[in-house]
Amino acid sequence: MRSERTSHGLIVRAPAKVNLFLEVMGKRPDGYHDLNTLMVAVSLFDTLEFKEDSDSTIRLDLVPATEEPGDEDRPLLSPGPENLVWRAADLLRRHVGLSDGCRIRLTKRIPLAAGLAGGSSDAAATLLGLNRLWRLDLGTSELMTLAAELGSDVAFFLGSESAWCTGRGEIVTPLQPTTPLWLVLVCPPMGLSTARVFQALKTPEQPVDGSGLRQALLDGDIQAIGRGLFNRLQSTAEELCPALAELRRRLAILGGVGQLMSGSGTTWFVLCRNPDEAHRAARNLDQLTRENLVSRVHVVRSCF
């Protein structure tokens, strides 16, 4: 995640992520679940602009990107303490004993409640951006500790473009694939709460092993990656929202080498062999858009 200084402050682009693999190992005493997951950052970005402020207030301005039909069915984003960006700024400031204020302008392009971790990515961007804006010089390990306090996916975005994540997601082992992935993100109009999906989940007696998929990613074997795609949360999300199962069935005709729901949903992705195949698949989604099964379509590539 890169930052760019301007004459007025600092700009950071926060990427979305997809889960190529997600297995739930069991419930923890703290109420969270232990996970094994393979996450990849992709080229759909929120933009955060940071400016210093003369008083001690954290001001968050929200700028929605162009709204799509059906977006009204998704939750609204708060500009206050409920927002992970605001919480990240406040946590960082309290951690270093700072009283400085800041103004943050967040332009949202990553849909909410979609399994793409837009809020977590924005929080990581805030830690990185304000660390630089306020000239704090905190190291990655210290920022990772703060990230774990904010949420399970936040630590992934602090420098990783692809990683195997364990614990509740905060233990990050970066990977270094060399072959980019091309995907079509298919976003339905409805969202799902992560907490709701996990509450309804039945943990498996025999977890699926993701080591083969991890190696396929490192080898750049697109066909093997497609065969190994797996998400334990998918069937639970489909039970809670039957329209997701219908969307899965309809996406099967698009081709590609595999498809999967990302995170706790509701976004699906189609993994393609190359950009031409991805753009062809995206063009074939017009009918699903007309039927209101899909509100947004993005052709993206992995950030590595």
Phi, psi of 89 (to 5 degrees): -65, -45
Quick check: helix, strand or coil at residue 61?
strand
With residue 14 as reference, give the H or E element that holds it. Answer: strand 10-27
**Is the four-CA dihedral 79, 81, 84, 85 of positive or negative sign?**
positive
51 noted as active-site residue? no
DSSP codes joined into one string, 47-108? EEEEEEESSS-EEEEEEE----TTGGGSPPPPSSTTSHHHHHHHHHHHHHT---EEEEEEEE
CA-based end-to-end distance of the chain? 11
221 noted as active-site residue? no
61, 137, 153, 276: the catalytic one is: 153
Phi, psi of 302 (to 5 degrees): -65, 155
Q: What are the catalytic residues?
A: 17, 153
